Amino acid sequence: MKKNKILTAVLIFILGLSSLITNHSIVSAQDSTQVKTTVIIHKLQADAFNSQNALLNLDGTEIDYTKIGTNVKPLNGVEFTAYSLSKDEYDNAIKLGIENTIGLTPPINKTPFVIGTTATTQEYEGVVSWEVGFDPAKPQYYVVYETNKPNTVTDSLAVPFIIAFPMTSYDGGRFLDSVHIYPKNVSGDFPVIGNDIANLGQNNASFNVGEPFKYILKGTIPTNIEKYLKYTFTDILDPALTIKKDDINDDFNIKPKIKVGFEELTLNTHFTYSISGQTISIEINKDGIAKIASQVPLANRNKITPDQIGDISANKNAAPFIEVSFTTYLNGTNSSTDVAIENNARITYNNSVIEKTTDASDNDFISYGSQNFKKVDPSGNSLSDAVFTVLEDDVPMVWNEYLINRNQANGNNKFPDVGVGKVIKLKSDTNGDFSINGLANSAQGKDGLIVSQYAIKETKAPKDYQLLGKPVNFTVEKDNSTVKITNNLRPFIPATGGIGTIIFIVAGALLMLFAIYGRRKAKEEA
């Protein structure tokens, strides 16, 4: 029914050029003369056209097309092809509609005549001219189809259209030597992808190895989103990142989420996801596309430009985009602690005309670091067997499987009591050395914004040395300088015999003598 209304509007427009078949009694002076009419086809595109959009330019004159829709502008690159009709075919199309007679696709049993492709001329943009010569006594009838168009176009209004020659002015007094026709298309820009880490607009961050963090994919909303048959995000994760199918359901509760502005789409209702190895795909289904189309008014679509999507930091209803988030983590398998994430996230879409995949999103930079320590005495001599726990923001850190692997901690004497979920302990070797690898760089911190404060707390001192009274703070930096930790000897007091005991006995005797002397003197004075 909607298509019938569209075609009716077309016919009203064409018929509005007075009568498509000339009243020959009115223009009898030209009946035996060869006549030419130039049809100037103005191809228009818009984000949307008004529902009442029949154009009654009765004498085929130019119109102000900007008033018939939103963001109306000329469209180059559209090819038009004409097919000749018999009078009966033409009359039936008028009565029953093109879709019920000739058909909405070019006929295969007729010879095509390619009119040309719309382009920019000295006078117009988005036009192609068709010059038709005819004998007014022998009317000609045509149906015109779009046979090629840009991929951004998803819907065609007023095509195919039928037309007859000769054409006369509204008052029937003359043949029209030029006629302006305005078939229209609904168009929209293609989606563009961007991505962030942890927070919208953030492309650099640092995390502990094995620590979950949010990964964000972003896609623009085309103005013609309601025409889309497919909108799927696919991300091939860098080998330095891990996302497990089991983790999706359990460990980190990292089922993907989708937001459009302030509103969320519902998993399994509006979108689904799948994981295969390093690849995660999130597909917005037809109900999700319909929800986006109904939720986001035309004026708010495609507000985020391709240049903005990579750095946009707020998803607002007034300028929304499609925001996909899921959780992943650094696995510590890369050789360098500074990880330039080679992101291969893309959007595959079908806008009812073409199925295509976008270019890859911009790359992110994720890093982590390590810290070396050396246990020494005041003279700089190495001390072994000191044991420390690692604190992050005053909380003891615990092992996860990726930190264990990164530090090669299993069976390593430098890491006593290793196990997933156990407090991380570090032990100095015979050279006084110990270290921890896989910590977030302090300058960025876990979420990329807050400075992480690390410390080590001594829980066992080397033999004969004093236990440190408070934790030693440290920062994880790229220069990875070694932090020296100094311990002092405990005071040595023999348990029995020796000079130590004699000193205490003598001191005690002197104190007693002094006390006795003081009491006697006090009595004498009294």
Q: Is the four-CA dihedral 24, 25, 27, 31 of positive or negative sign?
A: positive
Residues of the chain with pLDDT under 70: 1-33, 48, 50-58, 153-158, 170-172, 185-188, 244-254, 335-343, 443-452, 479, 492-504, 506, 517-526
pLDDT digits (tens, 9 = 90+) for 495-520: 555 555 566 676 777 777 777 766 66
Q: What is the pLDDT of residues 399-412, one digit of tens each?
A: 999 999 999 877 77
**Which residues lie closer than 8 Å to 53 by C-beta, 6 or more apart?**
9, 68, 69, 157, 184
pLDDT for 93: 86
Q: What is the pTM of this model?
A: 0.65
Q: In this structure, what token pair is assigned to residue 158?
A: 């007023």
Closest alpha carbon to 130 in 66, 43, 19: 43
Angstrom distance (rounded) from CA 213 to CA 209: 10
User: Please, are residues 302 and 222 in contact by the beta-carbon 8 Å criterion?
Assistant: yes
| Domains, the chain | 2-187 (2.60.40.10), 193-366 (2.60.40.740), 368-486 (2.60.40.10)
Q: Which of 145, 227, 158 is nearest to 187 (CA)?
A: 227
Instruction: Report the distance separating Cα 316 and Cα 314, nearest Å.
Output: 6
370 CB-near residues (< 8 Å, 6+ apart): 337, 435, 436, 437, 438, 439, 476, 480
Whole-number Å distance between alpha carbons of 440 and 209:
8
